[in-house]
């Protein structure tokens, strides 16, 4: 994983293009540009680990180009549970819940990511409160879609969720 400057990127990172992705949809171009300017851009190569199980969840990543695989870990078991694509985010749940990562994230192909720290998320709220509300709704919508997919997989596998 390599941190890069916007001028080093060969991919389209224009706000108009990024608005096609689910987490950036309906955000103003000015607010998207703010996130691009203040966030950290990472160029990753196929196979790179972006974060590991147990690491601090102090940020989340938006996929600007490429695909990532998330491997959920529980005890000694580790399973790929989903692929994250353009316009989607990963790591938001850990950041918001203030807990460590519950799995690892690896690049399925060469990709470009925007890392949004908890501090930048807070700054975005202060500077763009209307867009912050939209971003939060977009992130929540993506979480809801993921929950539905995973719960459908539980039903298809005849798994009953135990309460602790």
Number of compact structural domains in the chain: 1
Give bridge partners of residue 104 from the DSSP assignment.
71
What parts of the chain have a pLDDT lower than 70? none
Residue 160 lies in a domain: no
Domain limits for position 72: 2-118+127-154
Task: Convert the pLDDT of each residue in 60-96 to its tens digit.
Answer: 999 999 999 999 999 999 999 999 999 999 999 999 9
Q: Which of 105, 123, 22 is nearest to 57 (CA)?
A: 105
Task: Convert the pLDDT of each residue in 103-114 to its tens digit.
Answer: 999 999 999 999
Residue 159 lies in a domain: no
Residue 68 lies in a domain: yes
**Cβ atoms within 10 Å, residue 17:** 16
pTM here? Answer: 0.91
The CATH number given to whatever domain includes residue 17 is 2.60.120.10
């Amino acid at each position: 994983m390599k941190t890069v400057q916007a001028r080093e990127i060969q991919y389209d990172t224009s706000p108009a293009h990024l608005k096609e992705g689910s987490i950036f949809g309906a955000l103003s171009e000015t607010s998207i540009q703010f996130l691009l300017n203040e966030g950290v851009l990472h160029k990753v190569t196929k196979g790179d680990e972006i974060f590991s199980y147990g690491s601090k969840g102090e940020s989340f990543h938006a996929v600007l180009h490429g695909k990532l695989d998330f491997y959920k870990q529980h005890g000694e078991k580790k399973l790929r549970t989903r692929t994250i694509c353009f316009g989607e985010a990963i790591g938001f749940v850990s950041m918001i819940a203030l807990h460590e990562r519950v799995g690892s994230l690896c690049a399925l192909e060469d990709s470009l990511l925007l890392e949004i720290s908890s501090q930048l998320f807070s700054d975005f709220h202060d500077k763009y409160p209307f867009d912050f509300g939209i971003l939060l709704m977009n992130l929540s919508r993506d979480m809801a879609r993921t929950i539905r997919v995973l719960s459908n997989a539980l039903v298809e596998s005849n798994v009953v969720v135990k309460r602790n």
